[in-house]
Chains A and B, each alone.
Chain A
Amino acid sequence: MKYTLMINEGPYQHQASDTALQFARAALEKGHEIFRVFFYHDGVNNGTRLAVPPKDDRMLQKEWSELAEKHGLDLVICIAAAQRRGLMDASEAKRQGLNADNIAAGFRISGLGQLIEGGIEADRTLVFGD
């Protein structure tokens, strides 16, 4: 089965990202394919590499990056939602005349069309949010 997951909440504030991560792991373990994970609303904050949670807490951003690397996941951050919330990759930062970027490894910034395409291509589309 081919899945697209949409994540609508930031890490730590809400359980949505945790649930999606556990779901993705379980699906991959069963041999399913994750076509795309699309981060929207405050969910874009899952893609910052500048988060430094306390040592005894989970590191959600890193766990997504690692899962993406291990399984070749396509982690897409919505550009419109990212611009509102200050999530930047190097080229977008340059385009906006900003002096820093903060996107984590394994994530890429792209348009909402990627979400629609995910819905078209996948057998199942699941939304995790608040």
Chain B
Amino acid sequence: MAKKFLYLNRKAPYGSVYALESLEVVLIAAAFEQEVSLAFLDDGVYQIAKGQNPKAIGMKNFSPTYNALGDYGITKMYVERESLAERGLTEDDLMPIVYEDEDDDYAEKPSVQVVSRMEMAQIMAEQDVTFSF
């Protein structure tokens, strides 16, 4: 039976390697027949912020990879509304990440779901394995 895996992201990108190497795990995880969800809360919401350009700090912009996750069958990306609000952000500040739903004539659907803190707690409680970064 497939297990539910949650990738819990609470740190901003670039200042440390956690966001990038978390994404590398997620890409590998996609090859296993398991249920994968990503959670972005606290400073983790900055990982999927629009308009990232780390060129001048000498690092690679890995944010486009989040957009490719749909092609790997990873379509559940939960963002906490309260975390956004605390940081003066809204959903419009996030990348418009979508996937093609093969069960619905390849219609483009949003991968990002903004959820309340209470819903996030529920999502966490439903997991079998949580990898924190």
Check B21–A116 contact: CB distance below 8 A.
no
Q: Does B53 contact A (CB under 8 A)?
A: no
Check A127–B34 contact: CB distance below 8 A.
no
Chain B residue nearest to A113 (CB atoms) is B28
B28 to chain A, nearest CB (A): 4
Interfacial chain B residues near A34, Cβ < 8 Å = none
Interfacial chain A residues near B130, Cβ < 8 Å = 125, 127
Interfacial chain B residues near A41, Cβ < 8 Å = 17-18, 21
Chain B residue nearest to A84 (CB atoms) is B17
Q: Does B106 contact A (CB under 8 A)?
A: no
Q: Does A112 contact B (CB under 8 A)?
A: yes
Check B21–A119 contact: CB distance below 8 A.
no
Size category of the B interface is 10 to 19
Q: Which of A1-56 contact B (CB under 8 A)?
A: 6, 8, 40-41
Q: Does A129 contact B (CB under 8 A)?
A: yes
Total A-B residue pairs with C-beta atoms closer than 8 Å? 46
Q: Which of B32-77 contact A (CB under 8 A)?
A: 32, 34
Check A127–B131 contact: CB distance below 8 A.
yes
Taking a contact as CB atoms closer than 8 A, the residue among A6, A80, A116 that contacts B29 in the complex is A116
Check A116–B34 contact: CB distance below 8 A.
yes
Given contacts A119-B131, A127-B132, A129-B132, contact A112 B24 (CB under 8 A): yes
Task: Report the count of interface residues on A (CB-CB < 8 A).
Answer: 17
Taking a contact as CB atoms closer than 8 A, the residue among A6, A80, A111, A119 that contacts B3 in the complex is A119
Check A116–B28 contact: CB distance below 8 A.
yes
Taking a contact as CB atoms closer than 8 A, the residue among A112, A117, A120, A129 that contacts B25 in the complex is A112
Interfacial chain B residues near A8, Cβ < 8 Å = 18, 133
- 18 A-B residue pairs with Cβ-Cβ distance under 8 Å, sorted by A, are A6-B131, A40-B25, A41-B17, A80-B24, A81-B21, A112-B29, A113-B28, A113-B32, A115-B25, A115-B28, A116-B5, A116-B29, A117-B32, A119-B128, A120-B32, A120-B129, A127-B131, A129-B133
Listed in ascending order, the chain B residues whose CB lies under 8 Å from chain A are: 3, 5, 17-18, 21, 24-25, 28-29, 31-32, 34, 128-133
Listed in ascending order, the chain A residues whose CB lies under 8 Å from chain B are: 6, 8, 40-41, 80-81, 111-113, 115-117, 119-120, 125, 127, 129
